[in-house]
Amino acid sequence: MHRSPKHLFSKPSVEAITLVEGLGVAGDAHYGATVQHRSRVVRDPTQPNLRQVHLIDVRLFAELKRKGYEIGPGELGENITTRGVDLLKLATGTQLIIGDAVIEITGLRNPCRQLDDFRPKLMTAVLERDAFGRLVRKAGVMGVVVRGGVVEPGAKIRVKKPAGRARALRPV
């Protein structure tokens, strides 16, 4: 679990995080009903915050290590580092139930130049092309809090697929 009250690239680990319905991670710089990412605030501060919670699968760190990057949980700015859920294969609208809390996945984190500021050529390392030539973004998924609660390390994650036809994740 990770949070930072300041807009920093990496987020320090904490014992637990509190998710607040419609707002995100209490005490985090991205907490709010409207967009909190600085570049998006400049464009339109009234747009809804679809990036309240950032999640990354722990397998990304092992993949990056094989590519020569020593990066650990929280260093890429995620709030929750997961294990056992293939986040990138989820559909938009999928709900992750973690204890009493529920996060609805809104889309993919769109990697930006800040990754290269953190580690040279890291952005290239979290992007690849699939067999059809489509860009695959591996920097995690974003979500909104639909039911609040405390989330602690090691908490079991249950996946609830959205009703209807699955919609592929897109950058948000």
Residue 57 host element (H or E): strand 53-57
| pLDDT over 90 (residue 111) | no
pLDDT in tens, 75-103: 999 999 999 999 999 999 999 999 999 99
Average pLDDT score over residue span 151-160: 97
Which of 40-44, 50-54, 98-102, 146-150 has the weakest average pLDDT?
Answer: 40-44
Residue 58 per-residue DSSP state: T
Task: Round to whole Å and give the CA distance between 12 and 32.
Answer: 20
Average pLDDT score over residue span 117-140: 95
Q: pTM score > 0.85 for this model?
A: yes
pLDDT at residue 104, as a whole number: 98
Domain boundaries in the chain?
A: 17-160
pLDDT at residue 14, as a whole number: 97
Query: Regarding predicted confidence, which is higher, 41 or 152?
Result: 152
pLDDT at residue 25, as a whole number: 98
Which is nearest to 119 in space by CA: 142, 139, 135?
139
| pLDDT over 90 (residue 44) | no
| pLDDT over 80 (residue 112) | yes
The tokens describing 120, both together, are 């040279």
CATH class (in words) of the domain with range 17-160 = mainly beta
Task: Round to whole Å and give the CA distance between 124 and 137.
Answer: 10
| pLDDT over 80 (residue 38) | no
Per the prediction, the chain carries an average pLDDT of: 95
Q: Give the residue ranges of DSSP H helices in 4-126.
A: 38-43, 59-66, 114-118, 122-125
Average pLDDT score over residue span 49-53: 97
